[in-house]
Amino acid sequence: MKKVLFDIQGMSCSACSSRIEKVVGKQKGVEQISVNLLKNNMHVSFDEGVISEQDIIAKVEKLGFGASLHLQQAQVKEKPVDTAAQEMQVMKQRLIWSTIFTLPLFYLSMGAMAKWPLPEIFLGMENALINGLTQLLLTIPVMFIGRKYFVHGFKNLWNKAPNMDSLIAIGSSAAFIYGIYAIYKIAYGFGHGDLELVHRFSHDLYFESSAMILTLITMGKFMEARAKSRTSEAITKLMNLAPKTAIVERHGLQGEISVEEVVTGDILIVKSGATVPVDGVIIEGSGALDEAAITGESIPVEKYMDDKVTGGTINKSGYFKMRATAVGENTTLAKIIALVDEATSSKAPIAKLADKISGIFVPVVIMIAVFAAAIWLCLGYSLEFALAVGISVLVISCPCALGLATPTAIMVGTGRGAANGILIKAASALEAAHHIDTVILDKTGTVTEGKPVVTDIIPNTISENELLSLAAAVEQLSEHPLAEPIIRAAKERNLELPPASNYRLLPGKGLEAEVNGKLSYAGNSKLMTEVAVNIGEFASTSEQLAHDGKTPLYFAQEGKLLGIITVADTVKPTSAEAIAKLQKLNIKVIMLTGDNKLTAEAIHRQVGMDQVLAELLPEDKERTVRRLQEQGHKVAMVGDGINDAPALARADVGIAIGAGTDIAIESADIVLMRSDLQDVPKAISLSKAVMNNIKQNLFWAFFYNAIGIPVAAGVLYPHFGILLSPMIAAAAMSCSSVSVVTNALRLRFWTSK
């Protein structure tokens, strides 16, 4: 199955995107399709053996829209074009020129009625034809500037897929044609001496309505385009992080090259203040890296030899050489950009509902407009009155607000999440997250740090440093997982290790070695008993430490106990606070672990989750998720994305915690770049904020149409004399779209409580 991104030209409302989705989605071989109105693109998954890219393009073009294959940034090797900013500039030019002609037209048409000062040549019944022809000449440029509405509108109407442009085109054209009809009537009146006819039609030209509709719609489109350009800020900022050049060392020579020329394995030099060009590993030197743009963490992170570094992060201080491990589209930054882009292109189920409504909305509105005009004619009202009603209904009911309600909120929300180190892979995950009532946490690497550290050093007759030095000397000969944290602790204290030799592993008990020529032991209580070392009161201390989830290691020399060193996978500093925040959201928190019950219970006491299940295999975790779902719970699984993959895939929302590793990105719906459990309640809070915003948008979009259409149709006119003119209808329609986008933009200021 192949997945391709297409650029679409000519879409103006959700009726357009809905039509394309419906028609292309029905084609044989098309598995999945998602059309994004905001970004004017379309993701299609299809079987190459059944349908080709050109077949899909041809089908879109047959519907009256333009389609082409999207050029990736890597293909063009240039700064990506900001289509939203480009669209805003085009709309700005159209608005300026439309306004230049519309303002004098409006002044001329309303001047006599409002008693505004006008040149004599436009005043009086004798100059009615001059006035009318001047208005006609001022209207034609505005219609030419807004010709896109007519071309797309009538083309879609002809293809039986009417959209917003169709409503505008019909309304504006009807007003313009009626204006020409009125000029002919004025000319006829002058020719036949019927001054009453001249007087009547000189006040019913409607050219200003035709032009004002187009100008006000263009104004709304300009404001909409300006708002849309802000919604893509997150992606733009991420793209701008990527440096253009890198300093490479090849064959002993240093030189600056384009970042596109960097290949895997290259040795790169990163100086203080420079941006890391690609992903890699430090092989020499050190630096303090600002990873805020990738993880959202504001404090620089110290990086040393063998540490991984991410492209796009900034070296605040220090100097290091690194080996490139991932370049181009394989870097973490490129994957983040792709993830955010894909998330903003996908649709939440609530968006699909709005699209379906929009798909049938436009033809229904056209029928309402015709029906309303026909009723007023049947009631004996004039043609111009009925025409004004029909045009107002068409213009006020444009479903722009409905189509923008969901995608704008999703785009701003996912962008805001990315800025906080929360990557949302699909809009459906964003919607599902706000229903979550149960969060399941993996222990290792999620609640805990994921790597053992020395927690306690309890010496007997010697100092802490002496005990740690001897322990590290013995353990440096071992490959046991618990040896590494002891050696690391000794290095951190800059301790000199005495020479050790004659190492011997004692399976299930520990090891022995000669340190400074003295026989030394490291291991458990069983080993101490075997070598006749009296542990005395240290036995109860050891039991208490084990009860706290720590692993005690005894060290002895020449038959004498030197002390205990405990090693444990410690709880992350923020885990308890994160769990408390989840519980505050009325979410039940369960920890699943493959570790023993004693350790699991110790972690439970420290962080206070609701339930703990220990000694589980990966399939047991998946089974637990399924059981909770069968009980009616909405479950989020939080894990490292490796051995938790079955549970992550089964959960309603899979959340990977772990600095964006490949497996985490593949297996989860949401990726937390900071490896901080506090981002889980943040992600859920963001989901709730986005969904509330979408519901507000949809409410106002539906409410606006529910009130606007009947008023435009004239239901208030018989009793209250209230009737909307086409100009007011156009202004109201534009305001509704702008208000929906503006409301969505409030999410840019979202912060987690």
Distance CA 248, CA 240 (A): 21
Over residues 211-215, mean pLDDT: 82
Q: Is the pLDDT of residue 689 over 70?
A: yes
Residue pLDDT, tens place only, 149-173:
898 888 878 877 777 777 778 878 8
**CATH number of domain containing 7:** 3.30.70.100
Residues 462 and 540 in one domain: yes
Q: Identify whether 308 is part of a domain.
A: yes
The three state secondary structure string of 398-465 is CCHHHHHHHHHHHHHHHHHHHHCCEEECCHHHHHHHCCCCEEEEEHHHHHECCCCEEEEEEECCCCHH
In angstroms, what CA-CA distances link 379 with 382, 386, 709, 718, 720? 9, 10, 19, 11, 17
Distance CA 564, CA 456 (A): 8
DSSP state letters, 258-301: EGGG--TT-EEEE-TTPBP-SEEEEEEEEEEEE-HHHH---S-E
Residues 529 and 549 in one domain: yes
Q: Residues with Cβ < 8 Å from 201, sequence gap 6 or more? A: 182, 183, 185, 186, 189
Over residues 485-512, mean pLDDT: 87
Considering 197, 231, 265, which residue would you say is the last residue of a domain? 231
Q: Is the pLDDT of residue 80 over 60?
A: no
Residues 224 and 288 in one domain: no
C-beta separation of 208 from 178 below 8 A = no
Share of the chain above pLDDT 90, in %: 22
CA angle 668, 685, 228 (to 5 degrees): 85
Over residues 196-214, mean pLDDT: 81
* Residues paired with 290 in a beta bridge: 314
* Residues paired with 459 in a beta bridge: 563
Residues in the chain: 753
Distance CA 636, CA 650 (A): 9
Q: Identify whether 670 is part of a domain.
A: no
Kindly report the average pLDDT of the chain as a whole number: 82
Which of 223-232, 312-321, 477-486 is predicted most confidently? Answer: 312-321
pLDDT, position 84? 62
Residues 460 and 523 in one domain: yes
pLDDT, position 324? 95
Considering 326, 350, 383, which residue would you say is the last residue of a domain? 326
* Residues paired with 2 in a beta bridge: 46
Helices (H), 146-232: 147-158, 164-192, 195-202, 207-231
Over residues 512-526, mean pLDDT: 89
Count other Cβ atoms within 10 Å, centred on residue 688.
15
* Listed range (141-150, 168-177, 345-354, 410-419) with the worst mean pLDDT: 345-354
pLDDT, position 205? 78
Q: Identify whether 535 is part of a domain.
A: yes
Q: Is the pLDDT of residue 79 over 60?
A: no
pLDDT band for position 340 (cuts 50, 70, 90) = low
pLDDT, position 73? 42
Residues 170 and 257 in one domain: no
Residues 481 and 553 in one domain: yes
> Which two tokens mark 162?
């009417």
> Which two tokens mark 523?
């291991």
Residues 485 and 554 in one domain: yes
Q: Identify whether 303 is part of a domain.
A: yes
Distance CA 519, CA 207 (A): 105
Residues 119 and 208 in one domain: yes
Over residues 572-589, mean pLDDT: 92
pLDDT, position 74? 38
Q: Identify whether 505 is part of a domain.
A: yes
pLDDT band for position 97 (cuts 50, 70, 90) = very high
Q: Is the pLDDT of residue 72 over 60?
A: no
For the chain, how big is the Rg over CA atoms in Å?
A: 35
Indicate the pTM of the whole model: 0.64
Classified as helix, coil or strand, 253 is strand
Q: Is the pLDDT of residue 76 over 50?
A: no
Residues 97 and 61 in one domain: no
Q: Which residue has the higher pLDDT, 210 or 486?
A: 486
Active site residues: 442
pLDDT, position 682? 92
Q: Identify whether 429 is part of a domain.
A: no
Residues 255 and 167 in one domain: no
Domain with 317, as residue range(s), is 242-326
Distance CA 747, CA 753 (A): 14
CA angle 175, 176, 182 (to 5 degrees): 90
**CATH number of domain containing 554:** 3.40.1110.10
Residue pLDDT, tens place only, 40-53:
788 899 998 899 99
Residues 195 and 269 in one domain: no
Q: Identify whether 361 is part of a domain.
A: no
C-beta separation of 392 from 712 below 8 A = yes
**CATH number of domain containing 282:** 2.70.150.10
Q: Identify whether 474 is part of a domain.
A: yes
pLDDT, position 339? 62
Over residues 534-553, mean pLDDT: 85
pLDDT band for position 249 (cuts 50, 70, 90) = very high
Residues 29 and 64 in one domain: yes
Distance CA 77, CA 96 (A): 34
CA angle 448, 525, 489 (to 5 degrees): 45
Q: How many domains is the chain built from? A: 4
Considering 519, 546, 568, which residue would you say is the last residue of a domain? 568
pLDDT, position 230? 59
Residue pLDDT, tens place only, 264-316:
999 999 998 899 999 999 999 998 888 766 655 556 778 889 888 988 888 98
